Structure 1
Amino acid sequence: MIAINNLTFEIGARALYDEANWHIKPGDKTGLIGANGTGKTTLLKLIVGDYAPTGGTISMAKDLKIGYLNQDLLSYQSEKSILHVAMEAFARQNQLHTEIEKLLKKLETDYSDEILHKLSDKQHEFDALDGYNIEFKAHEILAGLGFSEDDQKRPLSEFSGGWRMRVMLAKILLQAPDILLLDEPTNHLDLPSIKWLETYLQAFDGAIVIVSHDRWFLDRVVNRIVESRKGKLISYAGNYSFYVEEKGMREEIQRNEYKNQQQKIKQEERLIERFRAKASKAKFAQSRIKMLERMDRVDDVDDDNPSVNFSFKFSKQSGRHVIRLEDVSKSYPAIKILEHASAIIEKGDKIALIGANGRGKSTLLRIIAGTEQFGGECITGHNVTETFFAQHQLESLHLDNEVLQELQSFAPKHTETELRSILGSFLFTGDDVFKKIRVLSGGEKSRVALAKALTADANFLILDEPTNHLDIQSVNILIQALNQFEGTFIVVSHDRYLLDNVANKIWFIEDQKIKEYPGTYAEYEEWQAKRAVSAPKEAPAQQKKEEKPAPKPQAQHDDKSKQLKKLNLTLQQLEDKISQLEKEIKDAELELSKEEIYQDQAKLKTANERYQKAKTELQTSQADWEGLAEQIMELEGS
């Protein structure tokens, strides 16, 4: 389908690709990954011909139809409706429709056989191209990407950049290309739209190449990973999870080969040194030197996964209740977001706020941060110090500052060594810390802004889409950072891998209320799937009739409240027990690592029994917690 042979592409003196090879076959669904700056977007531009290679070839069939979604499409403007813009994908069908309309007009005055034959031919071709269904197809794809019937009639110019990108994606999908090249397609999508796109791409017959930092998305869509690294394209047959496992195995083999070779080199060097001075052994020494020079050296494994090696400190601990939302109402002229909603954020909560765009996630974050007008109360708890990260804060970075200066001016209590360590964790190493903010890419600016947010003397973090513009490596760093953070946070993100790895509670807005699921994102997804299956499928009229259920008798309501209160108290006690058991396990692991323990058989046995007992108790307590949480959710929903 597409053959990339010995591709070389240079930018100035730097070779972005150096004799790289890759063959894209029909039906391949490939995730193109690599750190920012390794040339992923550049490679897509090389394939479509926007750039010319310095060396090597990119060959493909002349009639190959390529659909290419790139971030440059954000600048596309039109006063036409988004339905019309999406239907521009059907160029030939639109042309035939216009010609048929003209022929029908002529037919009102000219009944000649020539006009009738032309009309018949055009209608036959239009029918063969499924022209009568193109509007339905456009409606279907736009609806899947989150556009309502009314939205589809509005002009493209009324929509923000992210929504315009969705229209461009719809247009590309409607073209039914042989191969799709998608550069960060999930960047401007909410979770329901991402799930819809996953389903669509799974059923897509052609080949796909996706550049994405969304690990869950890649796992569900691709069957091959190609990593852009050190000027080469390295292929792995499997999804992203397989790639992580396979790469780990390859690196372990390489690491062992490197160690063995280094050991052999040292032995040879000792032999050479020993016999070099002896005339009788000079020839032998020279032959060993030549052998070393000819040796094909194995490189050591580079550490592509830097770890966060600093701890987040705040000067004071917050009280138990961090935020209390009471009777909160918020609406805009066209939409009601919240109505008499209440919720509590407690110390230690790691909350993922999820849902479709337009449901009010960012609005709720601004209410919590105190930057949005609303009805009701948002009460900040004792000793709570907060910091708010949102994408618009990238604009508040001082462009003439160097990266290190930017952090020094924001966190003067930190030493330069501490700040360099923090920046190193966010991939700013060596002289990178002296780069001016103005020359940084969007992803680099995001990392600087995140580093600032995480160095603030804050025990409560509010994070709105922190993974935008971040590559997979940077997302992994953010996950490590949030897992080390001992305070409280609430995060909005469409990156499900991040949410599943950092959150212990899920918030979602439903019926203008803030609902809570007490568990991880993966557990929430499973619960939602069961909920969707068990939901009664009523007729629309019946649903409408039952939208406002009759109020329950007060006695029944009081019994339910008492039961919920009792269950929540038991749940809290279980959570405390789980925390204590986790501490015991950590202490036991530390004890087992001590030399005096593992060298004494009796002590080792006692320590191991203590560890296994705590582990078994933890598993039992976690199972009890899950059962109790399900019971509470069912009772709250009844």
Structure 2
Amino acid sequence: MLIALQDITFEFGARVILENSSWHINSGDRVGLIGLNGTGKSTLLRIINGEYSVSKGSVNKIKGLTIGFFNQDLLSFETDESILKVGMTAFAAAVKLEKELEALTKRLETDESEALLLEYSEKLHEFDTMGGYTMEHKTAQVLEGLGFSTNDLSRPYSEFSGGWRMRVLLARLILQQPDVLMLDEPTNHLDLPSIEWLEKYLVGYNGAVIIVSHDRYFLDRMVNKITEVYQQELHHYSGSYEDYEIEKALRVEMQTRAFENQQEYIRQQERFIERFKAKASKAAQAQSAMKRLDRLERVEQADGGPSKIRINFNVDRQPGKILCTLKDITKKFGTLTILEHTGAEINRGDKIALIGANGKGKSTLLRVIAGTEPFEGERIPGHNVVTSFYAQHQLESLTLDYEIIEELKSCGSGRSEQELRGLLGCFLFSGDDVFKKIRILSGGEKARVALAKTIISQANFLMLDEPTNHLDMNSVQMLIDALDKYEGSLVLVSHDRYFVANTANKIWEIVDGEIKEFKGSYAEWEEFKKRQAAAMAPGKPDKKEKAAPVAAPKPPVSNDQKKEILQQQKQFQQLENQLATLNAKKEQLGNELANPAIYADKQKYKEVEAAFNKVNKELEVANKQYEQVFERLVELGEA
């Protein structure tokens, strides 16, 4: 066991977040930490991390335990160093030792004393043990897994946006390999290929992993336990998120029955007390009944979660069969080509998910479809199409002096205030929240208001750019249910695979500047991609450029060694030239032997055949010499 939370209670002022809750975390646990927004998930992570102290109970950790905590607060980190250097700070001890070895190497040029050579040898062994020779390669591997190109590795950290910076910091945390890795919404900053890479990495992680995420697809694939913050307590479940949902439903049902049975018992006892408390013959029994009720441990009423409010779209008019046609579209940003001579067609009833890695042009294509992005080619809008476009930049169109409820009323949807308040509840605005001014809302809250406005529009064609970014699981599910009943068409961009899998009937992917369409669900597309990858796997070269591992500091070289290195390098170059000449000659003679006309001249055929055999023997000798010289250069450390 790595961590034991025993009967802990934690309060913020008068508000109780956790009460008498326990949790044991073991090596190999991959836990999904879930709960409604505001129930205290992030607070619990900070308790484990030692940032907050509990008012009651104990938090026990094994000696020397290391904890890595990935969260939004990390964005305060600033540096102009390359992202490779930032990632390599995970190997702080090895980096420090590397600098010491470099200093020792310089000293050995003038001082070859036995003591100094021994110190150098010991530090070299320690550097090897720490993984110093592979730290640069490992860092590059993790950064590339999280979506960076090889060329990005040398770019300064300060050049990247917030989402990409979070990837760098996630890479650094992964490379540190703490005993307990705590990740607060890690998929918010990743595209699909990066999420899939992270899943593969975390499945084999040696320590414990605790994940807070609204991405249920990620949780289903990742976790082997669920811990839920529910009614100020921690409830533990074994298995995936899907297993949790089944067991949770049973628990709620059992709690509901227990609550109802207890309420009936309480009502019976209260009737008995009320009836007989004034009668002398029954007063003692009534008093005993009152004491029993006072001592009774009350069963709390089960919280079935947020009410299932139905979101309904009102489609104002029916569009034509084709909503939009793109012909010979080209879109470039300077030297970067996003789309090149490509086209597509959106038909009535299409629910298209536009997926792929960040930087491939998904949002750009959405704007091209909407007609708000300049491009080369032709965009033909369909008949009777009424479009509503949700994207982050739409937040600018919100009226800052309006209250949230006023903003929705201004859309002219004709819905009652009760209906609008019900819809806002789906987007996490409850009670008096609906009277908040738009200007005081956070970026995430504004995004939810803009999405609610999109939902109540009477459009028959929706374009949604990352609509689930600021929603919890229940709100995502409500949006899925609404889009499932939506009679119009839509194109959406999302990295939430559960959302995509439950909304889309077509998949679009931008590949080498072309729009590739797959007619089918996300699950079918995934299966298709797996079959495609399996078919291409045998003998497929690995084209991905990888950063070379850091070179080890070298011991000083004597004058005799320097002379030999120069001789071997010269011979190596000569042999390379000789091999190139012989291979060219062999190819020429082989072509002559392959010509049927040569067999008409018996003498000529014998001469060419003899020359071919001679070249083969010379190649055999030259290859052996080449290998010997190469091996010697390796021994001398110069290959």
- 2:70 aligned with 1:66, yes or no? no
Q: Kindly provide the CA deviation profile for residues 357-382 of structure 1, in whole angstroms up to 9, marking residues without a partner as x.
A: 11111111111122211111222211
- The 1:60/1:541 distance shift into structure 2, 3 A limit, reads closer
Moved more, 47-56 or 380-389: 47-56
Shift, 1:439, TM fit: 4.8
State the distance in 2 between where 1:524 and 1:121 align. Answer: 54
- The 1:242/1:257 distance shift into structure 2, 3 A limit, reads same
Q: Kindly provide the CA deviation profile for residues 302-349 of structure 1, in whole angstroms up to 9, marking residues without a partner as x.
A: 121432324221322222211111111112234322122111111221
* 8 A contact 1:215–1:497 mirrored in 2: yes
State the distance in 1 between where 2:315 and 2:92 align. Answer: 60
Shift, 1:444, TM fit: 3.6
Aligned to 1:337: 338
Aligned to 1:451: 452
- The 1:426/1:283 distance shift into structure 2, 3 A limit, reads same
Shift, 1:186, TM fit: 0.8
Matches within 5 A, 1:395-544: 395-411=396-412, 413-535=414-536, 537=538
Aligned to 2:247: 246
State the distance in 2 between where 1:45 and 1:445 align. Answer: 27
Q: Kindly provide the CA deviation profile for residues 20-68 of structure 1, in whole angstroms up to 9, marking residues without a partner as x.
A: 3212112111111111111212222222233333443322134111122
- The 1:234/1:394 distance shift into structure 2, 3 A limit, reads farther
State the distance in 2 between where 1:404 and 1:375 align. Answer: 41
Matches within 5 A, 1:127-276: 127-272=128-273, 275=276
Shift, 1:395, TM fit: 4.9
Shift, 1:437, TM fit: 3.6
Shift, 1:289, TM fit: 4.0
Shift, 1:296, TM fit: 2.7
Aligned to 1:349: 350
Shift, 1:124, TM fit: 1.2
* 8 A contact 1:216–1:497 mirrored in 2: yes
* 8 A contact 1:307–1:480 mirrored in 2: no
- 2:40 aligned with 1:28, yes or no? no
- 2:376 aligned with 1:375, yes or no? yes
Shift, 1:354, TM fit: 0.8
* 8 A contact 2:427–2:471 mirrored in 1: no
State the distance in 2 between where 1:28 and 1:434 align. Answer: 43
- The 1:538/1:119 distance shift into structure 2, 3 A limit, reads closer
* 8 A contact 1:407–1:452 mirrored in 2: yes
Shift, 1:457, TM fit: 2.4
State the distance in 1 between where 2:304 and 2:444 align. Answer: 20
Unaligned 5+ runs, structure 2? 544-639
Q: Kindly provide the CA deviation profile for residues 196-237 of structure 1, in whole angstroms up to 9, marking residues without a partner as x.
A: 100000011111011111111111111111111232221111
- The 1:16/1:278 distance shift into structure 2, 3 A limit, reads closer
Moved more, 393-402 or 359-368: 393-402
- The 1:508/1:149 distance shift into structure 2, 3 A limit, reads same
Moved more, 413-422 or 164-173: 413-422
Shift, 1:77, TM fit: 2.4
Shift, 1:285, TM fit: 4.1
Q: Secondary structure of 2:502's partner?
A: helix
Aligned to 2:45: 44
Aligned to 1:17: 18
Unaligned 5+ runs, structure 1? 543-638
Shift, 1:440, TM fit: 4.3
- The 1:69/1:541 distance shift into structure 2, 3 A limit, reads closer
State the distance in 1 between where 2:299 and 2:14 align. Answer: 26
- The 1:77/1:515 distance shift into structure 2, 3 A limit, reads same
* 8 A contact 1:331–1:337 mirrored in 2: yes
The residue type paired with residue 53 of structure 1 is V
Shift, 1:277, TM fit: 6.4
Shift, 1:15, TM fit: 2.1
Shift, 1:6, TM fit: 3.0
The residue type paired with residue 425 of structure 2 is G
State the distance in 2 between where 1:11 and 1:86 align. Answer: 36
State the distance in 2 between where 1:425 and 1:167 align. Answer: 34
* 8 A contact 1:308–1:481 mirrored in 2: no
- The 1:271/1:231 distance shift into structure 2, 3 A limit, reads closer
State the distance in 1 between where 2:228 and 2:444 align. Answer: 19
* 8 A contact 2:323–2:383 mirrored in 1: yes
Q: Secondary structure of 2:148's partner?
A: coil
- The 1:536/1:137 distance shift into structure 2, 3 A limit, reads closer
Shift, 1:293, TM fit: 3.8
Moved more, 49-58 or 16-25: 49-58
Q: Secondary structure of 1:234's partner?
A: strand
State the distance in 1 between where 2:275 and 2:5 align. Answer: 50
* 8 A contact 2:426–2:475 mirrored in 1: no
Q: Secondary structure of 1:316's partner?
A: coil
The residue type paired with residue 186 of structure 1 is T
Larger Rg: 2
- The 1:443/1:290 distance shift into structure 2, 3 A limit, reads farther
Shift, 1:412, TM fit: 6.2
Q: Secondary structure of 2:57's partner?
A: strand
User: Which fold has the larger relative contact order, with Cα–Cα distance below 8 Å and residues 6 or more apart in sequence?
Assistant: 2
Matches within 5 A, 1:510-589: 510-535=511-536, 537=538
- The 1:91/1:540 distance shift into structure 2, 3 A limit, reads closer
Percent identity of the aligned residues?
55
Aligned to 2:580: none
State the distance in 2 between where 1:442 and 1:541 align. Answer: 42
* 8 A contact 1:411–1:455 mirrored in 2: no
- The 1:538/1:331 distance shift into structure 2, 3 A limit, reads farther
Aligned to 1:384: 385
- The 1:165/1:64 distance shift into structure 2, 3 A limit, reads same
* 8 A contact 2:75–2:166 mirrored in 1: yes
State the distance in 2 between where 1:106 and 1:359 align. Answer: 51
Q: Secondary structure of 1:180's partner?
A: strand
* 8 A contact 1:308–1:480 mirrored in 2: no
State the distance in 2 between where 1:48 and 1:88 align. Answer: 20
Aligned to 1:558: none
State the distance in 1 between where 2:239 and 2:205 align. Answer: 18
State the distance in 2 between where 1:69 and 1:297 align. Answer: 39
Count of residue pairs the alignment pairs up: 542
